[in-house]
Structure 1
């Protein structure tokens, strides 16, 4: 009796998940979020697309996994959204700072940010992370004109990350979290719900 040779794509193996992630990172970096498909990632990793869905769920989830985020921003921001737009700017900053000021996650987050600020990564930040991950969450907090409001909020948050954590500009890096919330919270709130030209 001869052994049957298997045909088709190989099933999941211990290293398959890592190979799918590597293929996804390459695709997201080269083609951006919109140009990447689950089918193309599966093909590059030599697995069935169903296996990619099994490991990672949606394309959004695969994108977050490829970025190696230590936390899921959608889950973090869910309580902010649940309480509605009033006071959302301050709540958003409190959650943001609680995660970024935590030594256990800060190192990982810095690695993610530095990788998205290089030449290939800027596409991921501009075309993927902000419109796909953060945008849909923040849209639930804005009263109108999300195409104007969300980039304004994102610019403030990205600026805060760079000043406080990447460059570690002393005046920002040493500022107590509650002072950051008190000073920047109203700005974010204005961008979320105030009048914008």
Structure 2
């Protein structure tokens, strides 16, 4: 429970004061613990930033993974619509926290965090897309990377703008339409699909990654 209190206090200070004014003393006061207790877990402010971002990305990856597991065998349109909604909803659950953490990453060497998050989301969405009822892809890893970069990048850009609720809703609808159109454009056509599926060992992608 102490760690939970420290993480929540860190987020509250980040939201209220920004990353540059965050100190372990401010966090300790907000969490109701001593500075010494903070140092038992985190030797400096950057370590605290890192841990908070790590927890945030872990929860975000879990939500994407859970959604993808429910969509095995669905159509690409259903998959994409839900993926956009799931990712946005996770980010928008506490929008002030998402914005504060976007600002805090400037304080971090966060390459390992991003790589770990990307491995999990890449695997989850690739497994989902490989099971689509209405599409196969000749280069699934590239298709998957393009899809996620488009969704994740657009969502971040929306957060960095001061948009109204109606504008956000409109952009997300357009994002889903764009992603579905892309997948339709790059999927294997019927003759290719029949040929490629017959040539592949059972339980493999058309691309190079094994199905999870």
What is the TM-score normalised by the length of structure 2? 0.46
What is the TM-score normalised by the length of structure 1? 0.49
